[in-house]
């Protein structure tokens, strides 16, 4: 697997853990040292314990919409890699940057930042219209 493909796979693992509300999966993708996370509207969070505590709070929220990714773009430089993508959270679009570091042959997330996207470069998916008549 190429470096870009393995970086994209690590990013996909992050979003799978998010959608599945899988804190163990989330913990597995995050690095151990010098990490930071900035959720939309939150102050910066530093350190593994605090970052994972923030995800625990988010993942336990029964009202949390799934966080889906699209339009990923990988940027690689040696043992550092970034993914810039669009996150869809309900009807809201966020632009996210996920920074990874290659540690012992595996990409580990060291920084995540997402913020509202006011102008989209592509239209959001069209919601499915409810049926206009009932069969019952």
Task: Tell me the pLDDT of the chain (136 aa) as tens digits.
Answer: 789 999 999 999 999 999 999 999 999 999 999 999 999 999 999 999 999 999 999 999 999 998 999 999 999 999 999 999 999 999 899 999 999 999 999 999 999 999 998 865 555 555 554 444 433 4
Nearest-5° angle of CA 128, CA 96, CA 27?
Answer: 100
| pLDDT in the model for residue 1 | 76
| pLDDT in the model for residue 118 | 83
- Sign of the four-CA dihedral 117, 123, 125, 128: positive
Residue with tokens 């796979």: 9
| pLDDT in the model for residue 134 | 30
Q: What is the pTM of this model?
A: 0.84
The whole-angstrom separation of Cα 107 and Cα 11 is 9
Contact 109, 29 (CB under 8 A): yes
Nearest to 65 by CA among 88, 42, 89, 86: 89
The whole-angstrom separation of Cα 91 and Cα 127 is 9
Nearest to 71 by CA among 83, 56, 57, 55: 83
Q: What is the DSSP string of 26-46?
A: HHHHB-SSS-EEE-TTSPPEE
The sheet carrying 92-103 orders its strands as: 45-46, 36-38, 106-116, 92-103, 80-89, 67-77
């Amino acid at each position: 697997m190429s470096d870009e493909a393995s970086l994209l796979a690590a990013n996909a693992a992050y979003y799978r853990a998010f959608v599945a509300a899988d804190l163990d999966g989330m913990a597995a993708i995050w690095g151990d040292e010098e990490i930071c996370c900035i959720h939309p509207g939150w102050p910066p969070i530093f350190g593994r314990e605090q970052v994972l505590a923030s995800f625990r709070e988010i993942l336990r929220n029964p009202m949390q919409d799934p966080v889906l990714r699209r339009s990923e773009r990988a940027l690689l430089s040696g043992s550092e890699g970034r993914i810039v993508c669009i996150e869809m959270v309900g009807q809201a679009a966020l632009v996210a940057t996920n920074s990874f570091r290659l540690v012992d042959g595996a990409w580990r997330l060291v920084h995540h930042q997402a913020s509202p996207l006011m102008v989209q470069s592509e239209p959001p998916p069209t919601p499915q219209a409810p049926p206009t008549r009932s069969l019952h």
